């Protein structure tokens, strides 16, 4: 069995950059910590640390060990709060991962049914899909919302469900959206400044294909990973932008934005990805049920 105390000392030494600083943080003798790390290296059969100036650096084996130790002890730091919340019965906690490529306005619409739950603690992480799936597999997240199904990986043991296929509408500020522009949609996009999702978004790929089929060459003045931020810049007059119809209610809350037109053939997909534990989470079940309805 791996000695997790030895692993913890190794983790602290790496975080602090040396044995002396780790000893100060842990209030222990340098020799004690050094001996514990050597025991860890002996049990694993590989050197993990090597001298580097006045401190230490990771070997290749040490990098692999530190990556896992980082995950383990980050999880460990969250245990007291989660245990307290579970014991008190007062907090309903849901940790959701939002992939960079999906519309955050649409994600808000999917999560909105939870907002009336008393003592809700909603934690949202944003990042690349691969990173979020790793956190999901480690039970750091309960649910991931992404623009596409996850790649097949037997080690992760994830399930995926397509929750939403939503048409895309176009909005813009009053200065860019008038009767003439609405009557000429979508050809007017050739003459207007356009804001778009960034290139690694699944929606952006769909939009690029749609531009090609419509013989459009829009003048792109901005690219955003966050649809809400894109809407803010549009409301400030930067240009017109596409948004999933699912998130259009939030767009209506921003002053000065008007509907330009609808590209019903362009659709945004959002997939719900869960681990086995997430399948039994009551708040995950509520999100999925509301979306299906």
Q: What is the pLDDT of residues 171-198, one digit of tens each?
A: 999 999 999 999 999 999 999 999 999 8
The answer to whether residue 17 scores a pLDDT higher than 80 is yes
CA angle 210, 131, 198 (to 5 degrees): 25
Average predicted confidence (pLDDT) for the chain? 88
Burial grade of 119 (CB within 10 A; 0-12, 13-18, 19 or more):
exposed
The answer to whether residue 290 scores a pLDDT higher than 70 is yes
Cβ-contact 163, 291 below 8 angstroms: yes
Confidence (pLDDT) at 60: 94
- DSSP H stretches of helix in 89-158: 104-111, 129-137
Helix (H) or strand (E) holding 9: helix 4-16
The answer to whether residue 279 scores a pLDDT higher than 60 is yes
Return the CA Rg of the chain.
25
C-alpha separations of 246 from 106, 138, 240 in Å: 5, 30, 18
Residue intervals in the chain for CATH 3.40.190.290: 91-293
Average pLDDT value for residue range 246-258 = 77
The answer to whether residue 154 scores a pLDDT higher than 60 is no
Residue intervals in the chain for CATH 1.10.10.10: 4-83
Q: 243 forms bridges with which residues in the sheet? A: 169
C-alpha separations of 285 from 82, 138, 188 in Å: 20, 20, 43
Architecture of domain 91-293: 3-Layer(aba) Sandwich (3.40)
What count of residues does the chain have? 293
pLDDT band at 155; cut points 50, 70, 90:
low
Q: Is the pTM of this model over 0.75?
A: no
The answer to whether residue 27 scores a pLDDT higher than 60 is yes
For 88-117, the pLDDT digits (tens) are 666 788 999 998 778 888 888 899 999 888
Confidence (pLDDT) at 139: 82
pLDDT band at 153; cut points 50, 70, 90:
low
Average pLDDT value for residue range 142-163 = 82
Confidence (pLDDT) at 156: 66
Confidence (pLDDT) at 140: 85
Please tell me the least confidently modeled range out of 49-53, 54-58, 276-280.
276-280
Confidence (pLDDT) at 89: 64
Which residue has better confidence, 141 or 156? 141
Q: What is the CATH number of domain 4-83?
A: 1.10.10.10
């Amino acid at each position: 069995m791996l000695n997790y105390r030895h692993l913890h000392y190794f983790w602290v030494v790496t975080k602090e950059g040396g044995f002396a600083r780790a000893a100060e943080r842990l209030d222990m003798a340098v020799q004690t910590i050094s001996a514990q790390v050597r025991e860890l290296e002996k049990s694993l059969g590989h050197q993990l640390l090597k001298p580097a100036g006045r401190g230490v650096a990771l070997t290749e084996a040490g990098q692999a060990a530190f990556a896992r130790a980082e995950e383990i002890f980050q999880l460990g730091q969250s245990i007291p709060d989660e245990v307290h919340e579970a014991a008190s019965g007062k907090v309903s906690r849901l940790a959701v991962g939002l992939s960079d490529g999906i519309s955050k306005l649409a994600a808000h619409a999917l999560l909105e049914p939870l907002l009336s739950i008393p003592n809700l603690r909603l934690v949202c992480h944003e990042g690349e899909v691969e990173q979020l799936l790793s956190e999901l597999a480690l039970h750091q997240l309960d649910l991931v919302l992404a623009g596409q199904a996850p790649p097949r990986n037997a080690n992760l043991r994830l399930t995926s469900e397509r929750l939403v296929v939503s048409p895309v509408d176009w909005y813009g500020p009053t200065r860019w959206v008038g009767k003439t522009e609405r009557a000429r949609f979508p050809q007017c996009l050739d003459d207007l400044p356009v804001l778009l999702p960034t290139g690694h978004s699944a929606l952006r790929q769909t939009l690029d294909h749609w531009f090609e089929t419509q013989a459009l060459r829009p003048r792109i003045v901005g690219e955003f990973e966050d649809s809400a931020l894109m809407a803010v810049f549009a409301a400030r007059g930067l240009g017109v932008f596409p948004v999933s119809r699912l998130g259009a209610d939030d767009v209506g809350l921003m002053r000065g934005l008007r509907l330009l037109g609808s590209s019903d053939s362009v659709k945004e997909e959002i997939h719900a990805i869960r681990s086995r534990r997430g399948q039994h989470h009551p708040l995950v079940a509520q999100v999925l049920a509301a979306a299906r309805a």
